[in-house]
Amino acid sequence: MDKNINITLKVWRQRGPKEKGAFETYQLKDISQGTSFLEMLDILNEQLVNEGKEPVVFDHDCREGICGMCSLYIDGHPHGPDTEITTCQLHMRKFDDGATITIEPWRSAGFPVIRDLMVDRYAYDKIIQAGGFVSINTGGIPDANAIPIPKKDADLAMDAAACIGCGACAAACKNGSAMLFVSAKVSQLALLPQGRVEAARRAKAMVSKMDELGFGNCTNTRACEAECPKAVSISNIARLNREFIKAKLQD
């Protein structure tokens, strides 16, 4: 049965991208352990507003683990201490009574802080725009079985497509690498016949854009895989490397 707990929050506050930030400490009492982490932040903001203080800015949308916007670094982990969930799916039962919880924005050169706990994740959109799509004209809606695809390939493509682009992989990586994200988006198309037409151009364009936007290199520490809320496998990185090398050999 859930109980009420008292907690201390150390929250990163930063008024803008070019301003210096710092942690501020807040006390919350009688928080139900059945409360989600974002609902707890709503309670904090209500308390701050009632005290005449600025509420904490944080990003969220669906609160169903789909959109990837709830990008918070909690007690040293992207999305918090639980596994294979986003921040909005984290509940306060994961924390003990009297706990001190440290909350930060993503720490990555590719995701500059906008304000407080909100970062600019538009870099991932730019990588998708560089090549994460199929541009061939497929005409009308094809029959589901018109293009035979081996089940193994279809399953792997669906596993890669589970990536929600939240940025936890880059935030977890000591190099700030976006390789898990890019490889997932390349893999979900490279594994299917519809995506093979532009495979070479896609791999080169997305890797080039990733480098241009300031993301680091992959050194296979597997932190990205460990912290990914959708358990996307680093086997996709190996596939991306193969796709990239094949594209360069074709040149």
Instruction: Give residue limits of the domains in the chain.
Output: 4-114, 121-250
Backbone torsion region of residue 231, taken as left when φ is above 0, otherwise alpha when ψ lies between -120 and 50, otherwise beta: left
What pLDDT is recorded for position 138? Answer: 64
CA distances from 56 to 83, 125, 168 (A): 25, 25, 21
pLDDT tens column, 136-155: 776 777 777 778 889 999 99
| CATH of span 121-250 | 1.10.1060.10
Distance, CA of 160 to CA of 217 (rounded, Å): 20
Question: What is residue 205's predicted lDDT score, i.e. its pLDDT?
Answer: 97
CA distance 238 to 240: 5
Residues shown for the chain: 251
Check pLDDT > 70 for residue 217: yes
What was the pLDDT predicted at 135?
83
Q: 133: Cβ–Cβ under 8 A, 6 or more apart, which residues?
A: 189
- Matching CATH number, 4-114, of 3.10.20.30, 3.10.20.740, 3.20.20.140, 3.10.150.10: 3.10.20.30
- Rounded to two decimals, what is the model's pTM? 0.93
pLDDT in tens, 144-193: 777 888 999 999 999 999 999 999 999 999 999 999 999 999 999 999 99
Residue/partner pairs of 121-125 with CB below 8 Å, 24 or more apart: 121/69, 121/71, 121/165, 121/166, 121/167, 123/178, 123/213, 123/214, 123/215, 124/165, 124/167, 124/178, 124/181
Cα separation of 71 and 169, whole Å? 11
pLDDT of residue 143: 77
51: DSSP letter: T
The C-alpha atoms of residue 97 and residue 119 are separated, in whole angstroms, by 30
- Give me the percent of the chain exceeding a pLDDT of 90: 90
Q: How many CB atoms lie within 10 A of CB 4?
A: 13
Which residue in this structure is represented by tokens 């904490």?
56
**What number is the average pLDDT over the span 8-32?**
97
Alpha-carbon distances of 32 from 2, 73, 74, 83, 237, rounded to whole Å = 7, 21, 18, 21, 41
Confidence of residue 90 (pLDDT cuts 50, 70, 90): very high
What pLDDT is stored for residue 146 in this prediction? 79
Locate the DSSP E strands across the chain: 4-13, 22-32, 73-74, 77-78, 100-104, 113-115, 118-119
As a whole number of angstroms, the distance between CA 155 and CA 208 comes to 28
